[in-house]
Amino acid sequence: MPRMTKLLLQLHAAADRRHGGGPGPGRRHPLTPRHASAAGRFAPTALVLCLLALAAAVTTLSLALTLHRHGHDPGAAPGASPRGFAVVINTWRRHALLRRSAAHYAACPGVDAVRVVWSEPRPPPERLRRGLAVLDNNGTRRVRVRFETSNNGGSAGDSSLNNRFRPIRGLDADAVFSVDDDLIVPCSTLRFAFDVWRSAPNAMVGFVPRMHWIADPRGSTKEYRYGSWWSVWWTGTYSMVLSKASFFHRRYLDLYTNQMLPSIRKYVNENRNCEDIAMSFLVANATGAPPIWVQGRIFEIGSSGISSLKGHGLQRSRCLNTFAAMYGHMPLVATTVKAVDSRRSWFW
Ligand SMILES: *[C@@H]1O[C@H](CO)[C@@H](O)[C@H](O)[C@H]1NC(C)=O
Ligand SMILES: *[C@@H]1O[C@H](CO)[C@@H](O)[C@H](O)[C@H]1NC(C)=O
């Protein structure tokens, strides 16, 4: 619904622009029809009928074409056997959600491993392990769900947010889809995002865009403000895609854990926030390019987490400014590019 409003606003703006100037130089005055009075009476009705007919035709056509186009899965073409990707689920004390999302991702085509980043003090309970092991060995597909537990095993437990980016051993694929335990991305949408990533394997490719705004564009000091979803929606501009639902190359896990400035990991650890912003900085600094936002609906199955806490925006802005100071510059690059499945877009 809000999209519709935005579209209408854009149309209004366009109409205003067009009507604003009046007949400009070089523009012809509209021709007056001979029988203006008669034509004037019938024209509106005829026009409405024409538009309705056109709308019906377009709807039918696009429906037919959608059905037709969806029969063609580029990944399913014979000969094309792209390598798959690993899904890395970050979880924290929500076992029922984890079971649901792990089962979902394990069943998606293209997924060749599911890893659960486990940061709870106690090892994963046997019941949960067994519940997830079922996914391993029935059906025709065999996707192993494995737990990645932190190194300092039984002791105090390491619940650092940096855990989610620890390098994972034994992965076949280069692509990692990092996702929170309460987010479900439909398999077809996931598959499309993977295809986008394959054409830009250095980029972060995801579904949750955010922006760094300059707080005072005319001021002399560069202070940044964290731009939430609404600011991205309104402007169509973003510079990060959050790691709670994004693809990236697995080498960034190693860079994050072993090469990135230790002060950033320390900051993330102490403030229990902004590991996703840190990853966006890392990738932007390494590539000098923006991430890629992929069109697609994703579904939240849990209650809202940290982002609904009061003062969240303020904390996020502080992260932007602190990390920029640590880097010595702002590596994030803004863009308005969005990847869209062309089977679902009809005009232009
Ligand atoms: C997997 O096994 C369980 C229990 O044996 C069964 O209920 C379920 O339907 C199976 N799933 C698939 C996809 O075969
Ligand atoms: C940013 O990237 C440059 C060039 O790749 C690299 O030399 C530098 O160490 C990176 N900065 C940080 C803080 O990681």
Using one digit for the tens of pLDDT, what is the confidence trace for 306-327? Answer: 555 556 789 999 999 999 999 9
Condensed to tens digits (0 to 9), the pLDDT of residues 180-236 reads 999 999 999 999 999 999 999 999 999 999 999 999 888 888 899 999 999 999 999
Tell how far the Cα of 84 is from the centroid of ligand 1, in angstroms: 23
**pLDDT digit string (tens) for 235-290?**
999 999 999 999 999 999 999 999 999 999 999 999 999 999 999 999 999 999 99
Work out whether strand 240-241 and strand 111-118 pair parallel, antiparallel, or are unpaired: unpaired
Atom of ligand 2 nearest to the CA of 328: 13
Q: Report which of 107, 104, 132 is spatially closest to residue 118, judged by C-alpha positions.
A: 132
Q: Calculate how far, in angstroms, residue 126's C-alpha sits from the geometric centre of ligand 1.
A: 19
261 lines ligand 2 (CB under 6 A): yes
Q: How far is the CA of 327 from the centre of ligand 2 (A)?
A: 8
- Residue 31 pLDDT class (50, 70, 90 cuts): very low
d(CA 74, CA 189): 14
Distance 258 CA to ligand 2 centre (A): 13
Q: Does residue 153 carry a pLDDT above 50?
A: no
**Which ligand ends up closest to the CA of 137?**
1
CA proximity to 165, closest of 282, 294, 326, 319: 282
Round to whole Å and give the CA distance between 125 and 102: 15
User: Residue with the nearest Cα to atom 13 of ligand 2?
Assistant: 327
Strands (DSSP E) contained in the chain are 85-91, 111-118, 145-149, 175-180, 183-184, 205-206, 209-214, 224-227, 240-241, 245-249, 292-294, 299-300, 338-339
285 lines ligand 2 (CB under 6 A): yes
Any idea which residues carry the catalytic annotation?
Answer: 276
For residue 252, give the ligand nearest its CA.
2
pLDDT digits (tens, 9 = 90+) for 94-146: 888 999 999 999 989 899 899 999 988 888 888 888 777 655 545 556 677 88
Q: Cα–Cα distance between 238 and 330 in angstroms, integer?
A: 14
255 lines ligand 2 (CB under 6 A): no
Q: Ligand 1: distance of its center to the CA of 137 in Å?
A: 9
d(CA 305, CA 50): 50
* Residue 202 CB–ligand 2 contact under 6 Å: no
Report the nearest-CA residue for atom 8 of ligand 1. 138
Strands of 224-227's sheet, edge to edge? 224-227, 209-214, 240-241
Do residues 109 and 143 touch, judged by C-beta distance below 8 A? no
Distance CA 136, CA 107 (A): 10
Query: Is the confidence at residue 1, as pLDDT, over 50?
Result: no
The pLDDT assigned to 230 comes to 92
Q: With a 6 A CB cut-off, is 147 part of the ligand 2 pocket? A: no
Tokens at 6, concatenated: 């935005």
What's the CA-to-centroid distance between 285 and ligand 2, angstroms? 6
Instruction: Give dist(CA 263, CA 260) in Å, integer.
Output: 8
The reported pLDDT for the residue numbered 47 is 78
**Is 327's C-beta closer than 6 angstroms to any atom of ligand 2?**
yes
Ligand 2 atom closest to Cα of 282?
A: 14
Of 104, 134, 142, 187, best ligand 1 pocket probe by most atoms within 8 Å of the beta carbon: 134
Give the ligand at the shortest distance from the Cα of 141.
Answer: 1
Provide the total of helices (H) and of strands (E) in the chain, helices listed first: 10, 13
